[in-house]
């Protein structure tokens, strides 16, 4: 069995324990395996509140596959185009906040984001707003993303470097 088939088999086994039916495809792109799940009525079960379950499924599968294959496997789990919708939503939030920062010429925080969401917004701000910068401050649940005019960001400490 090749890696793609192993990933598909393990993902199907895990999902069978959670939902009754789904369509599942696995595609490799730039050393990341995209697990695309389509399900009619049970998407919210797989996605979870604020995407918590989908992130947990991804982590669990990474651990299972590491044990089975013997090397790290990068995954991205997507359910009914959740990731695309999430990206559009985050870009809207970033655009809105970036405009406020430009208008008021001061840094502003974005709170309650996951590390994945902070990373997406960092990348979006860097690519779309050359006059702005973004960085993260705080620890754990209190971590927040700051958007600031370039040259105005506060002195960064080790705990406030960009999310990876």
Give the pLDDT of the chain (164 residues) as one tens digit per residue: 799 999 999 999 999 999 999 999 999 998 899 999 999 888 999 999 888 899 999 999 999 999 999 999 999 999 999 989 999 999 999 999 999 999 999 999 998 888 888 999 999 999 999 999 999 999 988 899 999 998 765 544 434 444 44
| Domains of the chain, earliest start first | 3-80 (3.30.300.20), 85-160 (3.30.1370.50)
Phi first, then psi, for residue 6 (nearest 5°) are -65, -45
Torsion of CA 90, 115, 51, 141, to 10 degrees: -110
Q: What is the pLDDT of residue 59?
A: 94
Q: What is the pLDDT of residue 74?
A: 93
Helix (H, G, I), strand (E, B) or coil at 24: strand
Distance CA 125, CA 132 (A): 7
């Amino acid at each position: 069995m090749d890696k793609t088939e192993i990933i598909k088999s393990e993902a199907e086994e895990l999902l069978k324990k959670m939902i009754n039916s789904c369509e599942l495809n696995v595609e490799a792109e730039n050393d990341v395996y995209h697990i695309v799940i389509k399900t009619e009525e049970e998407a919210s079960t797989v996605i979870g509140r604020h995407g918590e379950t989908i992130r947990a499924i991804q982590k669990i599968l990474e651990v299972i596959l590491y044990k089975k294959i013997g090397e790290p496997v990068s995954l991205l789990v997507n359910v009914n185009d959740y990731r695309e919708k999430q990206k559009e939503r985050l870009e809207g939030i970033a655009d809105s906040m970036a405009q406020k920062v430009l208008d008021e010429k001061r840094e502003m925080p974005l709170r309650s984001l996951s590390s994945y969401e902070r990373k997406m917004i960092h990348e979006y701000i860097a690519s779309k707003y050359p006059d702005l910068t973004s960085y993260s401050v705080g620890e754990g649940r209190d971590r927040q993303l700051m958007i600031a005019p370039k040259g105005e960001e506060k002195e960064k400490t080790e705990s406030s470097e960009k999310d990876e």
